[in-house]
Structure 1
Amino acid sequence: MMELDKDLFCDMVKFYGNAFHLPPLAAKIYSYLIFDFERKGVPFEEFVEVFSASKSAVSSNLNLLLNLKIISDFNRINERKRFFVMNEKFMKIRFGEIITRMEDELSILNKLKNFRKTTDESSAQKFEIYQNLFQNNISNIKEMLDQL
């Protein structure tokens, strides 16, 4: 079993549960995997033991995390056990989705602006500020992702 800071672990469970809309056990599993700094992987049985959860509950929550691409799994040579780790690519996936949502919203706002055809200078100025906020954030996130 891994060493972890219980207070930090609880904060992480709450944060990731809310951020990724995860059920409590899935948030605990994900948070636990973050403490696997050397990426050795955590076997299924360890989750059952650490969280005193049923095999079926652990299995369904692992499958949820795998389907969301938040974690990944692997097998070691000559072992049948599956080991679970955080998906190294998840941050790129997550921020890629954020960029897509921002671009979609920006597109909708542009269509709405064109439909409205306002001559109100104050409204046009607010829209331009909002549009620039989106464009700057999209650009910044893309730039940071390229560095990852």
Structure 2
Amino acid sequence: MKKSLEIDEKIFQDAVKFYGTVLNLPPLASKIYSYLIFDFDKVGITFDEFVEVFSASKSSVSTSINLLLNAELIVDVNKMDERKRYFFANDDYKKIRFEKIVQKMQDELKLLDDLKNFRKTEHKEADERFEVYKALLNKNIKNIQESLNKL
């Protein structure tokens, strides 16, 4: 079996490094995810192709695929009259990713408010920095949510 996708090695390596870091993925999972990004025509990639392309064991590929499925980075489909599963990059992941970022910022805002309310003393300089940081978080939440509505 040969690669069913045409990939640019430099872009692929850059993607592996980027997604491995940003999404905190182990190397093989990052390679699988990056490989799927090159599936522009959405034909899907089979498990066997991953094993062959990456010269990895079936158990390693299986573990990486399960991690990516659980993280909602990829989806799988069984095509009619075939036992094989085909894997695709999850087109909704960008939206899911930014929804998680917004939730983390909202959680941080709540924590910051709780800490400020708990603190017994006033500290003008710290309070000013606190308000600037809160404004930054709120502005980013608003911007992200407006963009998500367009997706």
Shorter-chain TM-score tier? over 0.9
Q: Distance in 2 between matches of 1:76 and 1:97?
A: 31
User: Residues 59-111 of structure 1: CA distance to partner in whole angstroms, max 9, x if unpaired?
Assistant: 11111111111100001111111000011111111111111111011111011
Aligned to 2:23: 20
Which segments of structure 1 move beyond 4 Å, counting only runs of 4 or more?
Answer: none
Instruction: Give a deviation string over 1:14-48, Cα, whole Å, max 9, x none.
Output: 11011111110000000000000111111111111
Tell me the C-alpha RMSD between the 2 structures.
1.1
Q: Would you say 1:31 and 2:66 are equivalent positions?
A: no
Q: Residue 63 of structure 2: which of 56, 60, 63 is its match?
A: 60
2:38 aligned partner, one-letter code? F
Q: Give how far 1:120 is off.
A: 3.1
**Structure 2 residues not aligned, in runs of 5+:** none
Which residue does 1:45 correspond to in 2?
Answer: 48
Distance in 1 between the 2:24 and 2:58 partners?
A: 22
* Matched pairs, number: 148
Tell me by how many angstroms 1:121 deviates. Answer: 2.6
SS in 2 for 1:85: strand
Scaled by the length of structure 1, the TM-score of the pair is 0.95
Q: Which residue in the other structure is 1:97 paired with?
A: 100
Q: How does 1:1-148 map to 2 (within 5 A)?
A: 1-148=4-151
% identity of equivalent residues: 55
Shift in Å, 1:127: 1.0
Q: CA deviation at 1:118?
A: 4.2
Q: Distance in 1 between matches of 2:39 and 2:93?
A: 16
Q: Which runs of 5+ in 1 are unaligned?
A: none
TM-score by length of 2: 0.93
* SS at structure 2 position matched to 1:38: coil
Q: Is the 8 A contact 1:118 1:124 kept in 2?
A: no
